[in-house]
Copies of this chain bind each other. A is one copy, B any other.
Amino acid sequence: MSKGVTPQSKDYSTWYTDVVIKAGLADYGPVKGTMVIKPYGFALWDNIKESFDRMIKETGHVNAYFPMFIPKSFFTREAKHIEGFAKECAIVTHTRLKTDSDGSLIVDPESRLEEEVIIRPTSETIIWSMYKKWIQSYRDLPLLINQWVNVVRWEMRTRLFLRTTEFLWQEGHTAHATAEEAEEETLLILELYRQLAEDFLAIPVLTGLKTEAEKFAGAEKTYCIEAMMGDKRSLQAGTSHYLGQNFAKAFDVTFQTKDNKEDYVYATSWGISTRLVGAVIMVHGDDKGLRLPPKIAPYQVVIVPIARNKDHEKLVKDFIEPITFGLKENNVRVHEDWSDNSPGFKFNEWEMKGAPIRMEVGPRDVENNQVVLVRRDTNEKFNIGKEDLLNKIPTLLDEIQLSLFEQAKNFRDENTHTINSYDEFKDIVSNGGFVRCGWDGDAVTETAIKNETKATIRCIPFDEQTEGLSCIYSGKPAKHEVIYAKAY
């Protein structure tokens, strides 16, 4: 834990993995592409989860649980959906192991299932098969259901948190009587995602629409939040889909309208995942390790006692006790590190783990009725009198939260470019950065740029300005102003 990480400038990708492992966030599972989320990483995810769960409950959503097993036949119902997921799914075919004649453990061929079962890569199909039973009339609408579950996409190239065979997420699936209401819901959720990212994760995001080529398999429209990572690449951090009547038609879900007609139900779906932990690491982390925004940090304040003998220990312990108690009373997540390691080791460890504030207390501090505080975001170190602590810490946490956001926003803005030529475009996307430019709206152009540069349209931002703009590739009048970047 005391050893450092590979510097970002040397190898960003190795830096990332080093931080994940050395900060104790996660580890590799035994099956290829799987991940163990360790307690510290899980506490971080849990704080993200709790924050968003509160938001959706305040806006009338409820949680439920749908089985992870989906009959294979469900996937044939929505043509685009199956295209999107058929090539990367986990398929259950048998239900029994047995000991072979040579003593080895084999799959019992007689336990073969009549119809194979797919582990959910996402749950539109199974949920709409149930909605068919639950929805008869406009009185049953809207249905605003969410679930926090594991899903599986059998990916070939995996990265801890960013892309794993199994991951944790929330998936909301709502049903509405009108297209307008469903579109409103899609945008409401996008706004909640923006708030979660910016106000809790301190990650500035662009909000906008995905192109036809980039939208979700089965959606009419996909909205997204996109963030810039520390290597200037883009990460899709959350998506909210307007599904129109596609899934209602696929599963024959109709309802009686207020004026006694029959219509198909309108749908949305939306999700964020453990990938957000990856975003937090890459947006805020530095060569010392993680830097966690206070609102989601497992511990906001870590107290490192400095004591060389039992007398000092007691002195420091007695001094700290009311501080810890007072902070907890004020809902500050505080942790005293009384482990066997040296103070220096602990300083490094909590820097690696990204605790927003470190508090050092030694016998001399006790004498002076003060403590030493160190900010993880700025490395600033200063003394503060004990009597001011309970007032000062919450303010300081707010400051750190804001400072991390501002740093990330400045970084993104500095690395977002408006340009004039395709040469400039190629230069920037290959070196990293966002390009804001015109696009003629043609899928052929989009594909050509992708093939030539590996950059993709991350979104059509809500604040696009097309007046007088021409396409960076074809030179034709721009249909949209778009954000281009290489992405995770």
A387 CB-CB contact with B under 8 Å: no
A360 CB-CB contact with B under 8 Å: no
- Contact, CB under 8 Å: B97 / A90: no
Chain B residues, CB < 8 A from A62: 39, 42-43
- Contact, CB under 8 Å: A39 / B63: yes
Name 8 A/B residue pairs within 8 A (Cβ), A-sorted. Answer: A29-B69, A34-B67, A68-B150, A82-B105, A90-B117, A93-B94, A96-B154, A150-B150
- Contact, CB under 8 Å: B36 / A67: yes
A31 CB-CB contact with B under 8 Å: yes
Q: CA A168 – CA B148 in complex, angstroms?
A: 12
- Contact, CB under 8 Å: A69 / B165: yes
A447 to chain B, nearest CB (A): 23
A20 to chain B, nearest CB (A): 14
Known: A116-B107, A145-B39. Contact between A154 and B95, CB under 8 A?
Answer: yes
Number of this chain's copies in the complex: 2
- Contact, CB under 8 Å: A94 / B91: yes
- Contact, CB under 8 Å: B105 / A86: yes
Q: Which of A71-79, A261-269, A390-398 contacts B (4 or more CB under 8 A)?
A: A71-79
A70 CB-CB contact with B under 8 Å: yes
* B-contact 0/1 string along A20-53, CB 8 Å cutoff: 0000000101110011111101110010000000
Chain B residues, CB < 8 A from A27: 130, 133-134
Q: CA A88 – CA B94 in complex, angstroms?
A: 10
Known: A31-B117, A150-B149. Contact between A42 and B64, CB under 8 A?
Answer: yes
Interface centre among A27, A88, A97, A340, by most B CB within 10 Å?
Answer: A97
- Contact, CB under 8 Å: A63 / B91: no
- Contact, CB under 8 Å: A89 / B93: no
Known: A65-B36, A168-B65. Contact between A70 and B107, CB under 8 A?
Answer: no
A198 CB-CB contact with B under 8 Å: no
- Contact, CB under 8 Å: A75 / B63: no
A129 CB-CB contact with B under 8 Å: yes
A87 CB-CB contact with B under 8 Å: yes
Chain B residues, CB < 8 A from A31: 67, 69-71, 117
- Contact, CB under 8 Å: A97 / B107: no
A476 to chain B, nearest CB (A): 37
Q: CA A107 – CA B62 in complex, angstroms?
A: 35
A199 CB-CB contact with B under 8 Å: no
A98 CB-CB contact with B under 8 Å: yes
Chain B residues, CB < 8 A from A306: none
Apart from A69-B166, A90-B117, A92-B119: 20 A-B pairs, beta carbons within 8 A: A29-B67, A29-B69, A30-B70, A30-B74, A31-B71, A36-B64, A36-B130, A37-B65, A39-B64, A75-B105, A87-B97, A88-B95, A90-B92, A91-B94, A91-B107, A91-B111, A92-B93, A94-B116, A139-B340, A150-B150
Chain B residues, CB < 8 A from A66: 29, 36
Known: A39-B64, A92-B91, A145-B39. Contact between A71 and B117, CB under 8 A?
Answer: no
A126 CB-CB contact with B under 8 Å: yes
Chain B residues, CB < 8 A from A93: 91-94, 107
Q: CA A210 – CA B261 in complex, angstroms?
A: 60
A333 to chain B, nearest CB (A): 12
Known: A27-B130, A76-B105. Contact between A65 and B42, CB under 8 A?
Answer: yes
Candidates B70, B88, B150; contact of A96 at CB < 8 Å: B88
Chain B residues, CB < 8 A from A42: 62-65
Chain B residues, CB < 8 A from A75: 97, 105
A52 to chain B, nearest CB (A): 15
Known: A72-B105, A139-B340. Contact between A35 and B67, CB under 8 A?
Answer: yes
Chain B residues, CB < 8 A from A118: 97
Q: Which residue of B lies closest to A130 (CB)?
A: B36
Chain B residues, CB < 8 A from A88: 95-96
Q: Which residue of B lies closest to A24 (CB)?
A: B134
Q: CA A391 – CA B168 in complex, angstroms?
A: 43
Known: A27-B133, A70-B31. Contact between A87 and B96, CB under 8 A?
Answer: yes
* B-contact 0/1 string along A142-154, CB 8 Å cutoff: 0001000110001
Query: From residue 93 to 121 of chain A, which have CB atoms closer than 8 A to chain B?
Result: 93-98, 105, 107, 111, 116-119
- Contact, CB under 8 Å: A86 / B98: yes
A283 to chain B, nearest CB (A): 22
Q: CA A149 – CA B74 in complex, angstroms?
A: 25
Chain B residues, CB < 8 A from A73: 105
Q: Which residue of B lies closest to A85 (CB)?
A: B97
A156 to chain B, nearest CB (A): 10
